[in-house]
Amino acid sequence: MRFDETELTAPILRAVAEMGFEEMTPIQAAAIPVVLEGKDIIGQAQTGTGKTAAFGIPLLQRVNPKDRSLQALVLCPTRELAIQVAEEIRKLAKFMHGIKVLPIYGGQDITKQIRSLKGGVQVIIGTPGRVMDHMRRHTLKMETVKTVTLDEADEMLNMGFREDIELILGELPEERQTLLFSATMPQPIMELAATYQKDAELVRVVKRELTVPKIEQYYYEVRQKNKPEVLSRLLDMYDPKRALVFCNTKKLVDELVSDLQLRGYFADGLHGDLKQQQRDRVMEAFRNGKIDILVATDVAARGIDVDDVEAVFNYDIPQDDEYYVHRIGRTGRAGRVGTSHTLVVGREIYKLKDIMRYCKTKIHMRPVPSVNDINTIRAEKLMSRVDELIAGGELRSMTEIIEKHMEEADCTALEIAAALLKLSMGESSETIMDEGLDMSEGEGKAARVRLFVNVGKKDNVRPGDIVGAIAGESGMPGQLIGAIKMYDNYTFVEVPGEYVDEVLQAMKNVKIKGRDVHMERANKGGKSEDRGSGRSKSGKSGGRSTKGRGKSEGKR
Ligand code: ADP
Ligand code: MG
């Protein structure tokens, strides 16, 4: 059910839209109409299903902003939850003028709280202990309360708040609405409900049977620090038209997005901290192909409705089994093919096994692709295009050139074909210096930074010369140097982030093969690889280093 199909007022609809909610969660769809009618309710749904808004929305709609007295009281088991719930309710009340929402909890200066309360607060979210405290001091006037909510009621009972809760409920007016929300419904909760509620409606949303989409699912055992490199390789290997990458936190989303952009991918991120306008922009870019990798948190991804996502990557293993199903359900829609790829670190393998058991699905282990694997795939892709061209005929003028060249240069057609293949795959196929994965313990390989060097093939310089110069001048071990991409007039070289300054400093006033060397960060000053390679996105061959250069430059 959509929010705008309900009896909600415009300010609430606006707030909900700004929060990025599109559809009600099942518990919201079931509970909101009941609470709006003024009935008591027992709401049961798992954690993370949006119970806060399920009571917060109707509760706000029933508050009279012109009346400054306390009208709604929410009890939460912990201070963190009280703060969190107050934040969510404040967001929901953002466009309702004259509504004050205040969390009160132990550990906070009580005189400050009293001062805030004096200003007139209609909605209070508090822990039972602190609410009791205020009741005793008569700084909370309970007689005007119209709605009381017990949030996470099971937790509150587990924490021994039963007596406090009963005392608080006893102080409230008889004529009131009592909402009880809980993830579980043990006997004591039912007793509490029977004693303190009237004709309560029981609304339960139990865990659904999950249907796992029929897509190929793989996992890769990786080290935490290798995740960015592994993801890059998987992206290169599968070269999906549209990919969704899931992270467990907003911070990780931001970090991964910059890492991917630095590596030259068309990537952007989506998470709860972004304004609706920013989300819309990112989504639009994803839809129309301006970006092909979208990094998101689970919550942010809920609103995404894009059909042709070819691959889903679980950069972090999902915290919840159900999330796994939601995530991979983003691909393989409408009968299209799709794959999912999960990175697993150490003991997370047990979580993965849980997921397989719970979802009754098979996730296959795969080795992390090597640079060679990626090149093989890229070559195969090129070859299939070659096949198409041959089938299409009309190569006459080309064959003439080749024949002529065979005679002149005294070489075979096979040699020419191999050279052309190498050319069209880009230089990276043979000049990637190491495997990029640091499988050993010890020095952590931080994100690598690409540096631009003003010498290239025409200067008679080879990759080894550049490695030698950097290692020799800066003292940084040569094997820490990552991919080297050499063009006619310049070269790109990757070094670990922590060595960048040292390397740049050391490479001042250095000559390679008699040429003065100038080095700088590749993404500054508009140096673009596109200058030499002349590759466009439409001709993308899956090589990460050729992908998306121009655009990520533009962003900076
Ligand atoms: P619960 O109390 O059931 O554990 P929460 O109320 O804390 O769940 O909600 C979990 C997350 O889901 C929050 O980040 C919340 O903002 C978000 N959320 C709630 N309702 C919706 C919705 N209808 N659409 C999208 N996200 C929602
Ligand atoms: Mg909750």
pLDDT tens, 174-216? 999 999 999 888 889 999 999 999 999 999 987 655 566 778 9
CA of 106 to the centre of ligand 1 (A): 25
Q: Which residue has the higher pLDDT, 226 or 394?
A: 226
C-alpha radius of gyration, the chain, whole number? 30
- Give the percent of the chain with pLDDT over 70: 87
Phi, psi of 251 (to 5 degrees): -60, -45
**Does the pLDDT of residue 440 top 80, yes or no?**
no
Pocket of ligand 1 contains residue 339 by CB under 6 Å: no
Q: What's the pLDDT at 510?
A: 87
Q: What's the pLDDT at 475?
A: 80
Q: What's the pLDDT at 546?
A: 38
Q: What's the pLDDT at 553?
A: 35
Q: Which residue has the higher pLDDT, 361 or 212?
A: 361
Q: Is 554 exposed, middle or buried (0-12, 13-18, 19+ CB in 10 A)?
A: exposed
| H-run or E-run covering 323 | helix 321-328
Mean pLDDT of the region 151-168: 92
Q: What's the pLDDT at 319?
A: 78
Mean pLDDT of the region 507-524: 83
Q: Is 379 exposed, middle or buried (0-12, 13-18, 19+ CB in 10 A)?
A: middle
CA of 76 to the centre of ligand 2 (A): 9
For a mutational test of ligand 1's pocket, the pick from 23, 46, 52, i.e. the residue with the most ligand atoms closer than 8 A to its C-beta, is: 52
**Does the pLDDT of residue 358 top 60, yes or no?**
yes
Q: What's the pLDDT at 529?
A: 39
Mean pLDDT of the region 333-354: 85
Give the separation between CA 244 and CA 268, rounded to whole angstroms. Answer: 10
Q: What's the pLDDT at 259?
A: 93
Q: What's the pLDDT at 130?
A: 95
Q: Give the number of the atom of ligand 1 that is nearest the alpha carbon of residue 183.
A: 3
Q: How confident is the model at residue 242 (pLDDT cuts 50, 70, 90)?
A: very high
From the CA of 88, which ligand is nearest?
Answer: 1
Give the separation between CA 142 and CA 124, rounded to whole angstroms. Answer: 11
Pocket of ligand 1 contains residue 330 by CB under 6 Å: no
Q: What's the pLDDT at 477?
A: 76
CA of 151 to the centre of ligand 2 (A): 7
Q: Which two tokens stand for residue 184?
A: 């579980």
Contacts of 354 (CB under 8 A, 6+ apart): 321
Pocket of ligand 1 contains residue 541 by CB under 6 Å: no
Listed residues: CB within 5 A of ion ligand 2: 51
Mean pLDDT of the region 262-267: 88
Q: Which of 448, 438, 458, 444 is nearest to 513 (CA)?
A: 458
Mean pLDDT of the region 427-454: 55
Mean pLDDT of the chain: 84
Q: What's the pLDDT at 211?
A: 65
Q: Which residue has the higher pLDDT, 422 or 68?
A: 68
E strand spans, 170-234: 177-182, 201-205, 216-222
Q: What's the pLDDT at 321?
A: 79
For a mutational test of ligand 1's pocket, the pick from 3, 16, 19, i.e. the residue with the most ligand atoms closer than 8 A to its C-beta, is: 19
- Pick the range with the lowest mean pLDDT from 6-10, 95-99, 135-139, 321-325: 321-325
Mean pLDDT of the region 272-281: 83
Q: Give the number of the atom of ligand 1 that is nearest the alpha carbon of residue 272.
A: 14
**For atom 22 of ligand 1, which residue has the closest CA?**
21
Mean pLDDT of the region 264-270: 91
From the CA of 24, which ligand is nearest?
Answer: 1
Q: What's the pLDDT at 21?
A: 85
Q: How confident is the model at residue 485 (pLDDT cuts 50, 70, 90)?
A: confident
| Tokens 């060679």, residue located | 372
488-508: pLDDT as tens digits: 888 889 888 878 888 998 888
Mean pLDDT of the region 371-399: 86
Q: Give the number of the atom of ligand 1 that is nearest the alpha carbon of residue 299.
A: 26
Pocket of ligand 1 contains residue 25 by CB under 6 Å: yes
79-92: pLDDT as tens digits: 988 999 999 999 99
Pocket of ligand 1 contains residue 24 by CB under 6 Å: yes
CA of 493 to the centre of ligand 1 (A): 45
With the CA atoms of 234, 236, 239 and 244 taken in that order, what torsion angle do they form, in degrees rounded to the nearest 10? 50
Mean pLDDT of the region 395-418: 91
CA of 21 to the centre of ligand 1 (A): 9
Mean pLDDT of the region 108-134: 94
Mean pLDDT of the region 25-35: 94
**Does the pLDDT of residue 481 top 70, yes or no?**
yes
Q: What's the pLDDT at 208?
A: 59
